[in-house]
Amino acid sequence: MCKPIDVGTTKADELIPNPEDIKPRPKESNSGFVYGTISMALVVTAGSVVMGHFQSKRDAMGCDTMCVGSMTSARSTLTLVGSTIIGKSSDSKALDDKLGGTRRAFLILGVLATALELVVAARADSVRALWVSMIPSALFQQNFNVLKALFGEWHNPSATAAERAGEVGKLGMAVGLAFMAGPLLGSVLFKTYTQAVVFASVCLIVALLFIIRLPKPMKGDKQHSGNPNAIVAEDQSVTTPSSFINRFVPDVPAARTPPAIFIMISRTCMALSFHIFNTIWQVVLRERFKFGPQDYGRYYAYIGFGFAVSQGYVAHMLLRNFGMTESGRSRLLLVCSCILGGGRLLAYQTDNIAVVYFLQGLIITSLGVVNTIFTADTSKIANPDQLGGLFGVLGSVESLAGIIGPILGGSLARIHPVRGPLMAVVLLYGTVFTLVIWGYERIIGRAKIDSVHRKND
């Protein structure tokens, strides 16, 4: 139970759990966080170590800018479908007694899909074959969202936002470091596509071993956390053909709650802003700063490292010192929104590459903080039986932004090649800023207050 501290206010940021109600987290869950994080890092390393060779192969086959853009949009479309279906399906109990649980089964599927993409792409002799190679991974490699849902199950219901953010932050840190290390290894150590694929295959085999060792969530961990917005799913222990099919339909009641809609709109605005800005930023890197292969390698390695540090250390540190309250997290989100919008605007204006790197560091750090806060909040607003579906819906919305964003950015660039996209970026982050001021404490915070009072009653 949670009791409000009697200091003349009832805000959620002044609610603390009773010590006797806090149950220690099982050791199995601790090992699960570690194994899950390592497996995700290995999967990302396997996918990114071949990036340079894949790009060279695609260029050699005559895949021009239109071709690359079409492949990016197609991948986003497939990811939208896959994240929704797998997110919802991972909440099913149909495989609880097989393969160690449904979430583990989909994690294994994600690794196998990545392996299939590697093999098909390495053997591809045409652009059409490259198109085919991306289908399995884009559809079925949704391990990041599945792991976030699994981590949500392992957390105690009384875990604070900083505690939840810590584990998710480490997962994000591992992904960032892997994304930094993969391209560097691929360009420095592995001179041929075949060598990179062999190394990637070893990474995937080891990732499978870690996934197999993941502990199964205890039944007690799946109890309702007490949040009125965490919709309780109906018992699905009895499986019939029709009920099994229905589990693949992305009907997630928790996604229709006000907190989920708030997070969905905010993340959609941020994703649209990123993709719109990218339509002009890649041109800036190529034409203004004359980026070549090595420049791109250093740039993306810097982004990967910055994102890893941001989610693994900076976000957790800021939340621990300034974000233990709803109002504190609201202020962090406001500052990050200003940096994300203003930083991109300034980065476009400068001719100094050092300034670009500095601004990108601030942008990456802010993005990591925002992602960590929203992920921690998401894990508190849904029943564990719906967490996978909710993360899947959120991933689908961002994938949809990945489809619409480049098209919208190109259309705005026709109106004005610079001002059109830049004004859209500023407007979208201004929307996020306004949403946080108006609704973060009212919607996210209010839901948690109601949860505590209902439990006390």
3-state secondary structure 186-220: HHHCCCCHHHHHHHHHHHHHHHHHHHHCCCCCCHH
19 occurs within a structural domain: no
| Average pLDDT over every residue of 329-356 | 94
Q: Tell me the pLDDT tens digit for each residue of 302-335.
A: 888 888 888 778 888 888 888 888 889 999 999 9
Residue 17 belongs to a domain: no
Residue 369 falls inside a structural domain: yes
pLDDT (mean) for 164-172 = 74
Q: Which residue has the higher pLDDT, 249 or 213?
A: 213
Query: Angle formed by the axes of helices 51-60 and 127-140, to 10°?
Result: 150
> What's the total number of domains in the chain?
1
Q: How confident is the model at residue 237 (pLDDT cuts 50, 70, 90)?
A: very low
What is the structure's pLDDT at 57? 81
For position 428, what pLDDT does the model report? 96
- Percent of the chain predicted with pLDDT > 70: 77
Let me know if residue 128 belongs to a domain: yes
Are the C-beta atoms of residues 389 and 250 closer than 8 Å to each other? yes
The pLDDT assigned to 2 comes to 44
User: How far is Cα 323 from Cα 392, in angstroms, rounded to an integer?
Assistant: 26
**Other beta carbons less than 10 A from residue 423's beta carbon:** 15
Domain contains 364: yes
How many angstroms separate the CA atoms of 255 and 349, rounded? 39
The residue-averaged pLDDT of 143-166 equals 75
6 half-sphere exposure, CB direction, 13 A CA radius = 0
Q: Which domain holds residue 375?
A: 25-229+239-456
Q: Are the C-beta atoms of 307 and 364 separated by less than 8 Å?
A: yes
Whether 3 is covered by a domain: the verdict is: no
How confident is residue 207, by pLDDT bands cut at 50, 70 and 90?
very high
State yes or no: pLDDT of 67 exceeds 50.
yes
57 within a domain of the structure (yes/no):
yes
Residue 177 has pLDDT above 80, yes or no: yes
Residue 6 domain flag: no
Question: Can you give the pLDDT at residue 206?
Answer: 96
From its phi and psi, is residue 338 left (phi > 0), alpha (psi between -120 and 50) or beta? alpha
Q: Tell me, what CATH number does 265's domain have?
A: 1.20.1250.20
